[in-house]
Structure 1
Amino acid sequence: MFSHSGAKEWENTGSFHIGRTYDRMYTEGMIVAVTGHQRIPAQAMPYVRRGVRDYLASRLVSSAALQSAAAVAFGGGASGAVSSGATLVSCLAVGADQLTADIALRLGYDLTAMIPARGYETTFDEVGLYEYQRLVRQASRTVTLDFDHPCGEAYMAAGLRLLDACDELLAVWDGYPSAGLGGTGDVVTYARHAGIPVHVVWPAGVRH
């Protein structure tokens, strides 16, 4: 069962498509996408920070293995054929997205910023905008979807694009359905539907 009626509509109208080939054109390292809540309760924050860091650090090992295999396939690793490391793909919303991107960069990940729509900056408050702009400047790649303004459809499309790009999904999620189209619950549901591994980080008994 899908967590949001709008998400079910996307599947019924043929909008549900996860090709999972998108970013394989530019890296052979591990690609992790992140989805998560914008508001993380104070009591959950230490658990979330630790869980995100531990998970991302563990995926660097998998990324190294992928790169090693790719180097063999490309005859010793032809110049430009293999990425220097793992990649995080994120929409850089406040909360879980920005927190995860900051940790990933500190661990040495490349960052791909997946921008849901033109005018996305208008959805941030002053603090969130500062952090968003800081992270975008550090991104190795920025992709802006073709929506004129932020809306539920843009967020849903961005979520699907994240899944199209990734090997695994990191979800900072309390397990409850999305309140609106394109929320964390919708993205997790689609990932599981597509057979993409999902790693959830959230303390038991806490709701966002």
Structure 2
Amino acid sequence: MSVEVDVLVSRDAQVAFARGHGADLVTTDCRTLRGRSYDAVFDTFGAFVTEAVTDGGRYASIATQAGPVPDLSSRGVRTTVNQVREDGAGLNELESDAQAHMAGSELLVGLVDELLAVWDGQPARGYEGTADVVAYADRTAVPVRVLWPSGATRD
């Protein structure tokens, strides 16, 4: 399966970063995306490039400060919105721990049609490991495809 990734960034300073992480097309101008068609759009800053998602596709946004995502149900587009709130006090209270990592994984599982898991089939070494994410996907009826190269070992 080949996945092509195009990225619309908010600042020129982000272009090199996105290209360095494998993006095929990177732009700061949403007009560049006109005429292109995507099965899924993940909007992180409220650009609302809803015309770029194909009928029957998915549109996810975490940029609720820009307002609600337009209703795309007439085109069969499934939309997901997750609130992200930033303030100095709230950011100081955030912790990067196993519960936070699992919460992030659960959020992502909720956005996909299928989970591709690079997993050896073994139990997790701690809470929020691949086994826990696969189990969550199973519990929420998200199909899982396990990828583990022949001869690969877990260190």
Query: What TM-score results when the alignment is normalised by the length of structure 1?
Result: 0.32
**Bigger Rg, structure 1 or 2:** 2
Which is strand-richer, 1 or 2? 2
- Which one scores higher on RCO, CA 8 angstroms, separation ≥ 6? 1
Which is helix-richer, 1 or 2? 1
